[in-house]
Structure 1
Amino acid sequence: MAKVMAVLSSGYADEENDYVTGWWAEELFEPVLALQEAGHTVGLASPKGGKPVVDPLSLSKEYDPEGKYKKMYDSGIADKTTPIVDVQASDYDAIFIVGGHGAMFDLAHDENLHTIINVVYETGGIVAAVCHGPAPLVYTKLKDGRGILDGLEVTGYPNDMEPEEVRGLLPFSLEDELRKIGSYKAEPDIDQLVVWGNEQILTGRDPKSSPLFGKELAKKLTSREEKEEEKFFK
């Protein structure tokens, strides 16, 4: 059974433009369901700890027509998160960064998060991110100074899917930044797109990719555990 840390934005508000965002419900809950079904455990972290702000749109009828994610949210399972600064990275086999526009604001340049990502990666763990979740990976540097995504195939939320009303409010374009450092994949004809950059880096394109993203992460962790068991019993 692997231990996974899910990282969520604490939330962001622009009162002048009446804009509130945070983490995206589907992008947390679908991977968590897949990981738990495979027998793995998931902890939650955010910059401020406590109850992070969910993007209200992700619980709306438009994006959650059956109320599946609202029901999960209302159950309180995402109400308590550990402050990122208090996370013991060496305790985890993987980290996955939940998307939502909030990740662009408070996760992208969080140095404590960059440190956790590095520890997980350098100890052989998996670093995964979905939708806007790759934002902090753009700015994470390894010990040798290389970017953690440099030269890798990656995906993330495409420019042409960004709502027109928020484009001028975002601090940067995720697609543009990913294109600068890696081989960016959008594949608009594919319903769910996930990309393994290498054996340790997994990215997912958008909310609809969350179920496959979760299954891929769970499958990789299970495979690793099975290989370790085989070594143990040989």
Structure 2
Amino acid sequence: MAKVLAVLSSGYTNEEHNYVTGWWAEELFAPSLELEKKGHMVELASIDGGKPVVDPISLSKEADPTGIYQKQYDSGIADKTTAIVNVKASDYDAIMIVGGHGAMFDLAHNEDLHAVINVVYELGGIVSAVCHGPAPLLYTKTKEGRTLLEGLKVTGYPNDKEPKEVIDLLPFSLEDELSKIGNYHEEKDHDAYVVWGNKQILTGRDPQSAELFGRELAKKLTERELQAEEKGMD
């Protein structure tokens, strides 16, 4: 059983524009389900700890037509998170950064999160992020001083899908910044799209890719466990 740390935005509010955002429900619950199906454990963290703010749009009829994510949210499974500063990164086999516009505000430049990401990566763990979740990976630098995503094939939420009413409220364009550092791909012809930048870095494009993203992460973690078992038997 692998342990995965899911990191959520604590939330962001712009009162002047009546704008509230945070983490995206499908991008936590869909991958977590896939991981748990394979016997892996998911634990939650956020910048502030406690109950992080979910983006209300992610629980709307349009985003959650069957109400499956609303039901999971109402169950309280995302009500308690560990503050990222209190996370022991070496306990985890992977980190999964959940999207939602909130990630661009409080996750992107958080140095405590960058440190956790680096420890997981340097110990050989998997660093994964979906939709707007790659935002902090843009600013995470290795001990050699290079950006973690430098030169790698990556994906994330594309410019042409950003709601026009929020574009001017966002601190940066995720696609533009990913394109400056890595080899950005969107793959418009695919309903869901994820990509491995290398054997340790996985990114997913959007909410529609969340389930596939979870399956890919679960598959890789299971493969790693089997390889470790086989090596131990030698």
Is TM more than 0.5 here? yes
1:186 alignment partner, SS class: coil
SS in 2 for 1:231: helix
Find the residue that maps to 1:95 and give its secondary structure. Answer: strand
Matched, 1:72 2:72: yes
Q: How many Å apart are 1:209 and its aligned residue?
A: 0.1
Residue 208 of structure 1: aligned partner: 208
Alignment of 1:188-199 (within 5 A): 188-199=188-199
| TM-score, normalised with respect to structure 2 | 1.00
Residues 106-159 of structure 1, C-alpha deviations (whole Å, 9 max, x = no match): 000000000000000000000000000000000000000110000000000000
* 2:60 matched residue in structure 1: 60
With normalisation by structure 1, the TM-score equals: 1.00
* Cα distance in 2, alignment partners of residues 232 and 142 from structure 1: 30
**Structure 2 matches for 1:22-171, cutoff 5 A?**
22-171=22-171
Amino acid at match of 2:78: A
Residues 8-60 of structure 1 show CA distances to partners (whole Å, capped at 9, x for unaligned) of: 00000000000000000000000000000000000000000000000000000
Could you say which residue in structure 2 is the equivalent of 1:221? Answer: 221
- Write the distance in 2 (CA, Å) between the matches of 1:227 and 1:144: 29
State the one-letter code of the partner of 1:231: K
Q: Secondary structure of the residue that 1:137 maps to in structure 2?
A: helix
- The one-letter amino acid of 2:80's match is K
Q: Secondary structure of the residue that 1:226 maps to in structure 2? A: helix
Distance in 2 between residues matched to 1:40 and 1:101, nearest whole Å: 27
Structure 1 alignment gaps of length 5 or more: none
In structure 1, distance between residues paired with 2:86 and 2:67: 33
Q: Distance in 2 between matches of 1:21 and 1:39?
A: 31
Deviation at 1:233, TM superposition (A): 1.1
Q: CA deviation at 1:201?
A: 0.1
User: Aligned AA for 1:200?
Assistant: Q
The alignment status of 1:184 with 2:184, answered yes or no, reads yes
**Aligned residues: CA RMSD:** 0.3
Say how many residue pairs are matched: 234
Quote the offset at 1:161 in angstroms.
0.2
**Counterpart-to-counterpart distance in 2, 1:233 and 1:176:** 47
Partner Cα distance (2:227, 2:165) in 1: 48
Letter in 2 for 1:180: K
Which consecutive residues of structure 2, in runs of 5 or more, have no partner in the other structure? none
Deviation of 1:66 after TM superposition, in Å, equals 0.4
Structure 2 Cα separation of the partners of residues 187 and 21 of structure 1: 26
Q: Which runs of 4+ in 1 moved over 2 A?
A: none
Q: Distance in 2 between matches of 1:60 and 1:151?
A: 37
The 3-state SS of whatever aligns with 2:20 is strand
Q: Tell me the SS of whatever aligns to 2:34.
A: helix
**SS of 1:28 mapped into structure 2:** helix
